[in-house]
Amino acid sequence: MIATLRKLPRLHLYVGQFILSLLLLQGLLRVVFFFKFNPTNNPIPLGDLSWAFYLGLKYDLQFALILSLPIFLLGWISYIHPICSTAGRRLWSSYIVFMLLCLLLFHAANFGYYAYLEQNIDATALRFLETPLISATMVWQTYPVIWAMLIFSAIGWGYYRLMQTVNARIDASRTLNVKWKGKTGIVIVTFFVVLFGLFGKISWYPLRWSDAFFSSTHTFTSYLASNPVMYFYNTLKNSVETYDLEAAKKYYPLMAEYLGVDYPDPEKLDYTRTVTFEDNGSQKPNIIIVILESFASYKTGLSGNPLNPTPHFDQIAKDGAYFNNHFVPHTGTARSVWALITGLPDIEKNRTSSRNPLIVKQHTIINDLEGYDKSYFLGGSASWANIRGLLSSNIKDLAIYEEGSYESERIDVWGISDLSLFREAHAVLKEKQGPFFAIIQTSGNHRPYTIPEDNDGFIEISEKDTEHKPSDYGFMHFEELNSFRFMDHSIGRFMEMARKEGYFDNTLFVFFGDHGITNRTGKHTPQSEDILQVSSHRVPLVFYGPGVLKQTGIIEKVASEVDVLPTVASLTRNSYTNTTLGRDLFDTTFDKMRYAYTIIHGSFRTIGLLTDQYFQQMRFDGSDAHLHQLGTDTPNKDLTEEKPELNKTMMTYTSAINATTRYIRENNQPKQ
């Protein structure tokens, strides 16, 4: 074997050891990724797992060959030959070490991204570069940056020294007595070997990123198989989003009936509904909407979580109207804010709709709250995700309170603490004379999970205080659990302050989570919540207001985030014009047809429809449809053949809502 290798050209031996080292390194990183993130509650069949690692090896080979191409193409030049030339040795050694460090850095980013959002890093991560200071500060406060830099430097230096040792074994003085026919043969063989490696498989079509998405029931296998760098690159090739006019017209009659359009017009595609209330002369109720960061249902005590993380929120829910089947269309805070303000799911693929200047201006029901003083409160900067632009472009006379507006001390990258945010908002709202509308958006329930010294008596817990492990009930560790508990503690203090002020008795409070998180719901929740990724959409929705709300208790009808503003306007008896998808949750005329539309963003966008019992999903283009039942021991089972009529109905509505959303978002400009 060694004798055979010694007959190969020195350039081939040099490149070969580079490719081999890349394969070993990437294979090791894939193994670490598997043991770090493998979903133990949904074991992967051995066949799928083996195939994922096999595909991963081929993707890694593709990437290694791409990195080696410059050496293959230029290394034969004598002045920069990696073995025969001093300048060449320095040049290619520097190139290889640099690429190695970039690879390690990218994988480190992928690990952090997956830990945060349960998916491989893709082009949507570029949004963090739009607020580089915030992103960099979060990374600095969350991860051991200095140690990582030292470790990476040590690895780079160690690899450089190892490479010098290996290359010294390649006989620099040896020359091959190969005739031109032999050289031509070597070039031809090398060309086809490299071409086959890049092509990836014996087929009419090359190995593509989509081949990694071979399992419809184990999403993790797709991310395990993918090469993170190549996956990221492929997500950059995003087509411009637009609507299909013919599809919108096709589904218009169905959607006009579903939404209760006043005067259906298939030609103009008018989705307008006008809801009016008589003025009874009394002052309109105040409205406070609280958006709770990463407030998944399974993390609350309402779900039966034995850690009792949310006693204050649970009490509000018990005294108010609690929708336990409420879903947000998607994960991601910016997308959730968009859905609330506009009444439309955010279908933008790689970025968010709030960042799209072509469609950021939308009609919103908030502007129909005539005579209301309007405010928005955020602990950090409203420049994040162009939220400032979304709010300012669409809500008239809105006062935005953000970092720099408060006296409270900033505690980390997310600004002031949630407790300080509620205090600051309360101090502003209690001085209002007329009716007011306020959005309070928390942000403290994030890494680095800071608990401020000024915490109004909050007591952290640890393993000595409970017999339960946080990891068994939806939390990674006690730091995350305590951060979540502190958010609930802050809610409790806010409600205590509000009850002492005059505005409380005439205020409608609305609380809901901006999004959930999948793959770690805990032992207390149905298995289907994780396996079908329902937990990333299910968040609590609570309407509370003893002086405003007439109906209280647990309400099990399906609700969507797009329904929040129409419901708020109706509960406070404010006349409004609705041009998007939301419907009043207390209007019983819609109760026979309650759905929640969902979309999972990624290379293959998956759209779906939820009822209280079933979840229908398919790809964005309408292919690969499947129907699953919630709350069963076999959530992976596809029921499309067993329940063909139900599947057909839900597919139709999924497609109709999707086509209508795409059309409305580009044709929903506010009237001047």
Task: For residue 439, give the CATH number of its domain.
Answer: 3.40.720.10
Residue 128 vs residues 116, 190, 421, 559: alpha-carbon distances, Å: 13, 41, 23, 31
pLDDT at 7: 62
Averaging pLDDT over each range in 75-79, 99-103, 562-566, which range is the top one?
Answer: 562-566
227 lies in the same domain as 297: no
What value does the mean pLDDT take over residues 418-422? Answer: 98
Cα distance between the two ends of the chain: 79
Among 330-339, 375-384, 519-528, whose mean pLDDT is lowest? 519-528
93 lies in the same domain as 192: yes
List Cβ neighbours of 250 (8 Å cut-off, separation of 6 or more). Answer: 659
373 lies in the same domain as 498: yes
Token digits for 133?
A: 């200071």
Q: Is residue 671 part of a domain?
A: no
Token digits for 548?
A: 């405003």
What value does the mean pLDDT take over residues 176-184? Answer: 61
Q: Is residue 577 part of a domain?
A: yes
42: left (phi over 0), alpha (psi -120 to 50) or beta: beta
pLDDT at 521: 87
451 lies in the same domain as 562: yes
Contact predicate 318/512, CB 8 Å = no
Report whether pLDDT(2) > 60.
no
> Is the peptide bond preceding residue 448 cis, with omega within 30 degrees of 0?
yes
Q: Is residue 281 part of a domain?
A: no
487 lies in the same domain as 405: yes
pLDDT at 173: 45
Choosing from 207, 236, 265, the residue where a domain stops is 236
Residue 302 vs residues 296, 308, 310, 326, 329: alpha-carbon distances, Å: 11, 9, 8, 13, 21
Angle between helices 333-342 and 564-571 (to 10 degrees): 50
Interval 387-409: pLDDT, tens: 888 998 899 999 999 999 999 99
Give me the number of domains the chain comprises: 2
Contact predicate 597/657, CB 8 Å = yes
Q: Is residue 443 part of a domain?
A: yes
CA dihedral 478, 479, 481, 484 (to 10 degrees): 170
- Residue 237 confidence class, pLDDT cut points 50, 70, 90: low
Residue 186 vs residues 7, 9, 291, 310: alpha-carbon distances, Å: 11, 9, 64, 69
What residues are paired with 508 via a beta bridge?
Answer: 287
Q: What is the DSSP string of 353-413?
A: GGG-TTT-----GGGG-TT-EEEEEESS-TTGGGHHHHHHHHSTTEEEE-TTS-SSPP-BT
What residues are paired with 437 via a beta bridge?
Answer: 287, 374
270 lies in the same domain as 370: yes
User: How many C-beta neighbours within 10 Å does residue 522 have?
Assistant: 24
Interval 431-481: pLDDT, tens: 999 899 999 999 999 889 999 999 999 999 999 999 999 999 999 999 999
Report whether pLDDT(4) > 60.
no
Q: Which of 288, 303, 300, 329 is nearest to 515 (CA)?
A: 329
Phi and psi for 367 in degrees, rounded to 5? -70, -15
Q: Is residue 73 part of a domain?
A: yes
The CA distance from 453 to 485, in Å, is: 15
Interval 287-302: pLDDT, tens: 999 999 999 999 999 9
Q: Is residue 672 part of a domain?
A: no
pLDDT at 647: 96
Report whether pLDDT(50) > 70.
yes
Report whether pLDDT(155) > 80.
yes
Contact predicate 512/540, CB 8 Å = yes
What value does the mean pLDDT take over residues 574-579? Answer: 98
Residue 416 vs residues 135, 385, 454, 455, 589: alpha-carbon distances, Å: 16, 18, 11, 12, 43
Report whether pLDDT(630) > 80.
yes
Residue 23 vs residues 15, 227, 450: alpha-carbon distances, Å: 12, 11, 39
More confident position, 178 or 455: 455
Q: Which of 336, 337, 394, 333 is nearest to 365 (CA)?
A: 394
Report whether pLDDT(98) > 80.
yes
Interval 303-355: pLDDT, tens: 999 999 999 999 999 999 999 999 999 998 999 999 999 999 999 887 788 88
Q: Is residue 430 part of a domain?
A: yes
Give, for 644, the enclosing helix (H) or strand (E).
helix 644-664
What value does the mean pLDDT take over residues 124-153? Answer: 81
pLDDT at 232: 87
137 lies in the same domain as 272: no
The CA distance from 220 to 226, in Å, is: 10
The CA distance from 118 to 37, in Å, is: 9
Token digits for 207?
A: 């190995």
265 lies in the same domain as 200: no
204 lies in the same domain as 264: no
pLDDT at 1: 47
More confident position, 561 or 167: 561
Report whether pLDDT(574) > 60.
yes
The one-letter code for the residue type at 249 is K
pLDDT at 171: 57
Whole-model pTM: value is 0.85
Interval 18-47: pLDDT, tens: 999 999 999 999 999 999 998 877 788 899
Average pLDDT, the chain: 90
User: How many C-beta neighbours within 10 Å does residue 532 have?
Assistant: 23
- Residue that is written with structure tokens 């009716």 in the block: 435
Contact predicate 477/449, CB 8 Å = no
pLDDT at 176: 54
540 lies in the same domain as 439: yes
Q: Is residue 670 part of a domain?
A: no
Choosing from 177, 212, 236, the residue where a domain stops is 236
Q: Which of 417, 409, 481 is nearest to 443 (CA)?
A: 417
386: left (phi over 0), alpha (psi -120 to 50) or beta: left
Percentage of the chain lying above the pLDDT 90 cut: 63
The CA distance from 525 to 535, in Å, is: 9
477 lies in the same domain as 394: yes
pLDDT at 268: 95
Domain boundaries, position 14: 2-236
pLDDT at 120: 87
Per-residue b or e along 631-658, where b marks 16 or more CB atoms closer than 10 Å to that residue's CB: eeeebeeebeeeeeebbeebbebbbbbb
Among 161-170, 176-185, 188-197, 520-529, whose mean pLDDT is lowest? 176-185
Query: What count of residues does the chain have?
Result: 672
211 lies in the same domain as 306: no
More confident position, 665 or 384: 665
